[in-house]
Amino acid sequence: MLATVARIELDLRTEDALLLRYRTRGQDGLLGDEHPFLVCGFLLVQQYAAAG
Protein backbone atom coordinates (compact mmCIF):
# COMPACT_ATOMS: atom_id res chain seq x y z
CA MET A 1 0.00 0.00 0.00
CA LEU A 2 2.92 2.34 0.64
CA ALA A 3 3.89 2.10 -3.02
CA THR A 4 0.33 3.07 -4.00
CA VAL A 5 0.44 6.10 -1.71
CA ALA A 6 3.80 7.12 -3.16
CA ARG A 7 2.43 6.82 -6.70
CA ILE A 8 -0.67 8.90 -5.81
CA GLU A 9 1.58 11.61 -4.38
CA LEU A 10 3.72 11.51 -7.52
CA ASP A 11 0.96 11.41 -10.16
CA LEU A 12 -1.93 13.40 -8.75
CA ARG A 13 -1.73 17.03 -7.85
CA THR A 14 -3.41 18.87 -5.02
CA GLU A 15 -5.32 22.09 -5.06
CA ASP A 16 -5.59 24.00 -1.77
CA ALA A 17 -4.43 20.80 0.01
CA LEU A 18 -7.26 18.76 -1.60
CA LEU A 19 -6.43 15.82 -3.84
CA LEU A 20 -7.63 15.80 -7.43
CA ARG A 21 -9.13 12.59 -8.86
CA TYR A 22 -7.01 12.30 -11.95
CA ARG A 23 -4.45 14.06 -14.12
CA THR A 24 -5.89 16.66 -16.46
CA ARG A 25 -2.71 17.88 -18.14
CA GLY A 26 -3.65 16.81 -21.67
CA GLN A 27 -4.57 13.32 -20.51
CA ASP A 28 -8.36 13.16 -20.62
CA GLY A 29 -9.17 15.11 -23.78
CA LEU A 30 -11.76 17.24 -22.01
CA LEU A 31 -11.69 21.00 -21.70
CA GLY A 32 -11.44 22.64 -18.30
CA ASP A 33 -9.90 21.64 -15.02
CA GLU A 34 -10.63 18.91 -12.54
CA HIS A 35 -12.00 19.84 -9.13
CA PRO A 36 -10.95 18.24 -5.84
CA PHE A 37 -12.83 15.13 -4.77
CA LEU A 38 -13.00 14.72 -0.99
CA VAL A 39 -13.35 10.94 -1.00
CA CYS A 40 -9.91 10.63 -2.64
CA GLY A 41 -8.42 12.80 0.07
CA PHE A 42 -10.09 10.79 2.83
CA LEU A 43 -8.73 7.54 1.40
CA LEU A 44 -5.23 8.99 1.25
CA VAL A 45 -5.44 10.26 4.83
CA GLN A 46 -6.67 6.83 5.95
CA GLN A 47 -3.58 5.26 4.38
CA TYR A 48 -1.29 7.84 6.01
CA ALA A 49 -2.82 6.91 9.39
CA ALA A 50 -2.48 3.18 8.75
CA ALA A 51 1.16 3.59 7.70
CA GLY A 52 1.95 5.59 10.80
Q: Where are the domains of the chain?
A: 2-51
Q: If we measure between CA atoms, which residue out of 48, 47, 37, 31 comes closest to residue 12? A: 37
What pLDDT shows up at residue 22? 72
Distance CA 2, CA 14 (A): 19
Supply angle C-alpha 23, 44, 20, rounded to 5. Answer: 25
For the whole model, what pTM was predicted?
0.60
The SS3 call for residue 18 is strand
Tens digit of each residue's pLDDT (9 = 90 or more) over 2-51: 898 888 888 787 777 788 777 666 566 666 666 777 887 888 889 899 99
